[in-house]
Amino acid sequence: MSISTPPFSEEHEQLRQSARGFIERELAPHAQQWEDERWFPDAVFPKLAAQGLLGLKYPESYGGQGGDYLHEAVLCEEMARIGSGGTAAGIGAHINIATPPIWKFGTEDQKQRYLVPAIRGELIGALGITEPGAGSDVAALSTRAERVDGGWVVNGEKTYITNGERAHFIVTAVKTSAEGGHHGISFLIVDRCDGVSSSKLDKLGWHASDTATISFQDVFVAEENLLGELDGGFKLIMANFQWERLAMALGAVGAMTVAWERTAEFARQRNAFGRPLSGHQAIRHKLADLATSVYTCRCVTYDALRRFVAGEDPLREVTMAKLLTQRACFELMDDCLQIHGGAGYMRGDSSPQTHPIERAARDARLGPIGGGSDEIMREILGRVLGL
């Protein structure tokens, strides 16, 4: 399966090789330990920064690599090779959802104080939108920011926040006016300080990542930390979603590719009834179907990516890519697990002959929920398609 497909150029493919080498050498060997410890070290961020991998799409003037979203797209795919969805998620939250709004909507001062150290891996970011009472229905959020002299005082709670325990700053959606619906939402960059507390959540997959509930109790946030326009936060949320969903689609394509390759190899090696599993038509056909699914997901995702990079507003294509890939990825993981038989049900470390397919299957279950669920994707498509 060739991956040097347009829109990627030779330069992007070189980046792919170097990012893959770094990930396989420096991160993947630790995946099992980080999963067991339910935490990957913060030191991973400066390590990535030293390779230029935290600022691929950001201008050189801020310490970035001066690349574009295609460079970032390469990394999104390659992060599947860490073999720990949680580690990829923590890194991804920093580069794909927490820092882009600062780059796009931030003041020069905010870029210097947050984006520059984030690209260096010195500050870690999180994006705080979801609340106990407001997930898909973002407009229902109730964390309040009351105007005071020189800034705001924030009270409320966010939940399911990736990097929620370790983040130094949280790009936080708050209500700044009593107006209902999409109006009166603003974004504040909240430093971890007095009044900010977090508690880590236990979950089905993504074990190495710190998904947390964050409480804000009378937290003072200075005026200069308002991100974007006052009461204009909904626009920022929508702008952010397109790249987040594309990044998730790319991540799924990467994870599916790795799982397929390893499962095909397993099917060639493992014998049953006097021949390799791949010699049995049922398994061979299943692998052929799975390869077709990987290819389809790749094509749909790359089409959305091409349009996004060309400056179109590909809401329909990005939404379709997110919807298609997340469910397809989970289903493929289940099929790959089945082909591994009992070994597929074992943890990767307890059975050296296996790929940690059980972890990949658990990690993949988040896709149809996070970043806008399958049902919300269908609602968006319903609107776009005029239904």
- Residues with active-site annotation: 244
160 binds ligand FAD (CB under 6 A): yes
Rounded to an integer, what distance in angstroms lies between the CA atom of residue 250 and that of residue 245?
9
Contact 91, 79 (CB under 8 A): yes
Contacts of 248 (CB under 8 A, 6+ apart): 322, 325, 326, 367, 370, 371
Specify the stretch interacting with ligand FAD by CB under 6 A; choose among 50-58, 68-76, 346-354, 373-381: 373-381
Please give the size of the binding site for ligand FAD, defined by CB under 6 A.
Answer: 23
Q: Which of 54, 141, 161, 237 binds ligand FAD (CB under 6 A)?
A: 161
Residue 130, interface with ligand FAD (CB under 6 A)? yes
Residue nearest to ligand FAD (CB): 135
| Residue 10 token pair | 């030779």
Residue 73 phi/psi, 5-degree rounding, is -60, -40
The nearest distance, CB 181 to ligand FAD, in angstroms, is: 15
Residues 49-88 interacting with ligand FAD (rule: CB under 6 A)? none
Asked if residue 7 has a cis previous peptide bond (ω within 30° of 0), the answer is yes
Footprint of ligand FAD on 206-235 (CB under 6 A): 206, 211
State the minimum distance, in angstroms, from the CB of residue 108 to ligand FAD: 26
Closest contact distance (angstroms) between CB of 169 and ligand FAD is 13
Q: Angle between the 10-22 and 69-78 helix axes, to the nearest 10 degrees? A: 40
Q: Between 121 and 205, whose beta carbon lies closer to ligand FAD?
A: 205
Nearest distance from C-beta of residue 174 to ligand FAD, angstroms: 12
User: Is residue 375 part of the contact set for ligand FAD (CB under 6 A)?
Assistant: yes
The Cα 170–Cα 172 span in angstroms is 6
What lies within 8 Å, CB to CB, of 289 at 6+ separation is: none
Which residue among 135, 184, 228, 344 contacts ligand FAD (CB under 6 A)?
135
Task: Select from 19, 53, 80, 93 the one that contacts ligand FAD (CB under 6 A).
Answer: 93
Which residues are paired to 232 by β-bridges? 185
Across the chain, the runs of DSSP E, i.e. the strands, are 125-128, 144-148, 151-162, 169-175, 185-191, 196-200, 211-222, 226-227, 271-272, 275-276
Minimum CB separation of residue 201 from ligand FAD in Å reads 8
Contact residues: ligand FAD, CB under 6 A: 93, 126-130, 135-136, 160-162, 203, 206, 211, 366, 369-373, 375-376, 379
